[in-house]
Structure 1
Amino acid sequence: MRAFQIVMSIAAMTLVGCATQEIATVRQADLDSWKGMPVEALDTHSLFSTMQMTTRTTSSGVEIRNYINALKGTYCGGTAFSANCVDNNVTCNNLFYIRNGRVFEYAPTGQCMTNDSVRPEKRYLSLIQAS
């Protein structure tokens, strides 16, 4: 009986831990921070420069850059008594729409979240303000 109580306690703690994880959200302020930024801010961004990037140009001359953030693998959780494994493929397509060398829209699609790390970086902003 005592072993059953221990297992149930561990299961309850695991569920509580999963329930308290931060919910992924896309913040409008993060998207808006890119409006009007020069494309050089993307070229030198420390996060986006680590992602695979594809680009295409529409017939009207709009460049569309997709910075792909993909996480693939098998993740396991649980206890020695009960382990659960899940194949997980999470992809966020960070789409930037560029015209005349400036970003006019940032539209992440897929399983995405934004935070301060996706905004134009302060070091780039300080360089353009100094010139």
Structure 2
Amino acid sequence: MNKFENLKTEDDIVIGNYESQVTGNITVEFDLEEDGAVMEDYSELISASETWIGKLTKEKLDELKRNMSLELTDSAYTGSGYKPGQQDYDGLAAELTLVSIRFFQDAFSLVFKAKKEYPDMLIWCQVDEDMEMEDLMVDNP
């Protein structure tokens, strides 16, 4: 199993890197949502996160991207009179690039970029322990 690398504390979170064939080279962040936490406080969250990320398969990531593209595309065209087609959904799904994962004690957020469709924005996909999408948000970084 690949491990998190270059872990360091910064502004009450731990930041590092992770690389696998599924994720590519991404940033990982661990947030206990507590002020003054030190590296030792994160050991349980980091351990649980290593187990979780080890279960992330290419198939599951592709499924999440498809579900995200459906929701984002449908939302973007609601009320416009345009009916998105499969090409619209497939185009966004192919463009979504995982750039980081943020681990919390009770949630995981995968952060994507889609430079063509959502320039200068981040797309946050909160998932549960079974990697099912719980929430989706587009935000300026």
| TM-score where L is the length of structure 1 | 0.33
Bigger relative contact order (CA 8 A; separation at least 6) = 1
Larger radius of gyration: 1
